[in-house]
Structure 1
Amino acid sequence: MALAMEDRVIVAGGGPVGLIAALDLVQRGVPVLVLEAASTPIQDPRGAAFHPPTLDILDRLGVLPSLMEIGLKIPIWQVRNRDGSVVAEFDLGILAQETDYPYRFHLGQQKVMPVLLAALAKHANAEVRPDARVTGFTERDDGVLVEYADREGTSHCVSGRWLVGADGARSQVRKSAGIEFEGFTWPERFVVTNLADDLTRFGFTYTNYVTDPDRWAVVLRLENEDGEPNWRITYPTDPSLTDDEVLDPANVQSRLVDIVAGAEELHLRYSGIYRVHQRVARQFRKGRILLAGDAAHINNPLGGFGLNSGVQDAANLAEKLADVWHNRADEALLDRYNRQRRGANIEFVQKASIRNKAMIEERDPDAKRQAQDQLRAIADDPQLSLHYLLESSMINSIRAAKGID
């Protein structure tokens, strides 16, 4: 006799995307089980910049007020040169007629997670199970049998009507489903650092893109656990250097003072290396398997699109899956999720993040001068600036995706 399927959706991955998908589903009356491989929530900031459409989602879910109490509103961002000169400055306040949130919002994921977990804990039909690493699944006509291993390596099996893979870039759900992860890996590794210094005294605003062919950087203002300034600087490395050479304290210090014009020494809290990819899953839905977030797409960090597009996946998917769950729509509606979110990622996230990287590392002096002149002209013209910020803040991306049938 076949095992009866539990009436619930299983979400693989208890990061922000998985928890937001689960919270959105449970608020729509869909029971959820979240399987998370880690024992405790992540403890580093990771993706930390939220765009206006993502704040709309967090507000609808009722968690935004709690997040606002511990995060930073960022209305201004800059493009700068390595010598400290400002190429262009953009004020997101110009979006006030387009969104209730005309700013970026900075908050590390380690601070977001407890708020999401507390919101989920209020629902009796939601469970988050840590130490549960998904290892595979078996799909049936009426649902999915999901296998996972606990901390000791013991195997378990649970069941649900649908499986959402929000289990990151190395997604076991995606791999087990046999879905290709198309794209490429950038040759250079990226270094991410956290600093204790106040970089505003060097002219930096709270979001900055520093241009240079080889030594570009992204500079963001975050806060540590005690609410003290915690500036994040991300920069590319020389592919010929070993990881140990890249992370040598003297080498890191040299790169940082090169980025922060005028600084003689900076106080490093953390440095680490990661590889950066541009990849999109060939399909976001395969039968009863649905992908969201990094499991479905990854990109370079220039523009802060990765986490935001993942949250937008989660919200789009939850709405459609709930309609299918409650028999308000046919399962074919989930193919629209695939078309909308995969389309938005290919047409906006991938292209925009690649374009941003090309802009800040432009090598040809004439092309760089022309691009910077154009950027200044956009920043100085309210109408051009409005259009530019509707794009860079992902508002146009959300609107375009909704129009895909």
Structure 2
Amino acid sequence: MKTDERPILIAGGGPVGVVTALALAKRGIPVKVFEAQTEINDSPRASTLHPATLEMLAELDLLGEVTTQGLVARTFQFWDRPARRLVAEFDHAILAQDTTCPYVVQCEQHKIVKMCIDKLAAHPHASVSFGTPVESVETHADGVAITVAGANGSERFEGSYLVGADGGRSLVRKALNIAFDGYTFPERFLVLTTPFDFGTEHGVAFRAYFSDPDEWANLFKVAGDDGKGRWRAVFPTLPGQTDEEVMSDEACESRLQKFFPKTGRYDIFHRNIYRVHQRVAVRFREGRVFLAGDSAHVNNPIGGLGLNSGIHDATHLAELLADVRAGKRPESVFESYDAIRRPTNIEYVQQQTIANKKRLEERDPAAREANFEALRKTAADPAAHRAFLLRTSLIESVRKIKAAAE
């Protein structure tokens, strides 16, 4: 069998895995996706899609569906939580000359996964298998093979290349003995989902960040599966707190009432607590195996950059794989994947998300006010406002990569 006839194997059927699969399938390349879970995970996870990412999704014919099923969020805000004071608001409309999508869309990642799987169904050379975790990885000079666990026992699949998009605990990454450098924050993050409308009641934008030396917070609005709207509130927990101390009915109610007091109790549709990491794999490629998304890098969610960076990995990698399989470029071009994606993640995702968290949790009064003043001045100056958004929306990172390739 010729190398080009073998499928590209993808470990992980989350958003990065299925976007990679769709980008390849649309180019006529056979793909097989293997997802460990038995169904699409619809628990509250990433939802923010930045302008640069929306442009990539448009090339996959996903923009219309993403916009319809999500919420358009042109603006985002920074607040001084103790003073209940709006500090600064940024408007993506200022990027109208820089992008065809001068806005953010809040679209839950499980919706993106379903959209991609639905589109993959139109490609007979593509398949997605649930309940099939990858158990082992074999690498060869001219191909790869994986063993997956299924309902009928273990099964072996051969392919031309393997994409590890199987999350922060990636078996693919571990099988290749690739270190995952970085650290884990001592505090965990709590997410509470409520239908209470913070926008109507308090003027909060669909994306809002609250600085507080005692307890910073974030608020995001998503459409929800019923389209009626849900707000996600994110808070840090104290190191050492038990799940019961953090997630009990009274603890969650008390936290929301402290955040924005209201008459009557909050309806809480969902609650979740999770550990947060800042880690980057020491390399994103080993021979014919590539890492993408959380298997290659993880970060705190402040700024909504993790999912976006993963989708950027997916589209970048799909283009390289397609060009090499078509004979347009030599296999040596794969060296650029690690050389570009890894430093780009460090500069535009790791550095920004770490800085975002430090800004929100700053305890020194003078430093807090200096941060606020810098945000006000940036928002008030059109040139600085635009430059700030070019970076936070990842347009700058995409431009930098294109310029380096020319």
1:5–1:142 contact (8 Å) kept in structure 2: no
Mapping of 1:4-403 within 5 angstroms? 7-82=6-81, 83-151=83-151, 154-200=153-199, 201-260=201-260, 265-403=265-403
Provide the rounded CA distance (Å) in 2 between the counterparts of 1:151 and 1:351.
43
Task: Tell me the distance in 1 between the aligned counterparts of 2:354 and 2:264.
Answer: 32
Q: CA deviation at 1:401?
A: 2.7
**Length-normalised TM-score, structure 1:** 0.96
Task: State how far apart, in whole Å, the 2-side matches of 1:20 and 1:292 are.
Answer: 11
Whether contact under 8 Å (1:257, 1:263) holds in the other structure is: no
The letter of the residue matching 1:38 is: Q
Inter-partner Cα distance in structure 1 for 2:228 and 2:189: 25
Q: What is the root-mean-square deviation in Å for CA atoms of aligned residues?
A: 1.7
Per-residue Cα deviation, 1:105-139 (whole angstroms, up to 9, x for no partner)? 00112222221111111111111111110011111
Structure 1 residue 265: Cα displacement: 3.3
How far residue 243 of structure 1 moved from its aligned partner, in angstroms, is 1.4
Q: For residue 17 of structure 2, what is the amino acid of its counterpart? A: G
Partners in 1 of 2:363 and 2:12 — Cα distance? Answer: 40
Deviation at 1:26, TM superposition (A): 1.3
**Is the contact between residue 5 and residue 159 of structure 1 (CA under 8 Å) also seen in structure 2?**
no
Cα distance between partner residues in 1 of 2:263 and 2:292: 41
- Superposition deviation, residue 214 in structure 1: 2.8
- Contact 2:182-2:277 within 8 A present in 1 as well: yes
Aligned AA for 1:388?
Answer: F
Aligned mates of 1:76, 1:64 — CA distance in 2: 19
Q: Quick one: percent identity of the two aligned structures?
A: 41
- 1:192 alignment partner AA: V
Provide the rounded CA distance (Å) in 1 between the counterparts of 2:260 and 2:57. 34
Unaligned runs of 5+ in 1: none
Number of residue equivalences = 403
Deviating more after overlay: 306-315 vs 387-396: 387-396
Distance apart, 1:324 and its partner CA: 0.8
Output one character per residue of 1:73-114: Cα deviation in whole Å (capped at 9) or x when no partner: 000110012132101011111011100111110011222222
1:316: how far off?
A: 0.4
Larger displacement relative to structure 2 (10-19 or 41-50): 41-50
- Tell me the distance in 2 between the aligned counterparts of 1:64 and 1:97: 19
Q: Aligned AA for 1:88?
A: A
User: Residue deviations 1:21-40, cap 9 Å, x none?
Assistant: 01101112211111111111
Contact 1:44–1:108 (Cα < 8 Å) also in 2: no
Offset of 1:70 from its aligned partner?
A: 1.4
8 Å Cα contact 1:5/1:160 also seen in 2: no
Distance 1:179 1:225 in 2: 38
Post-superposition CA distance 1:289-326 (Å, at most 9, x none):
10000000000000000000000000000001111111
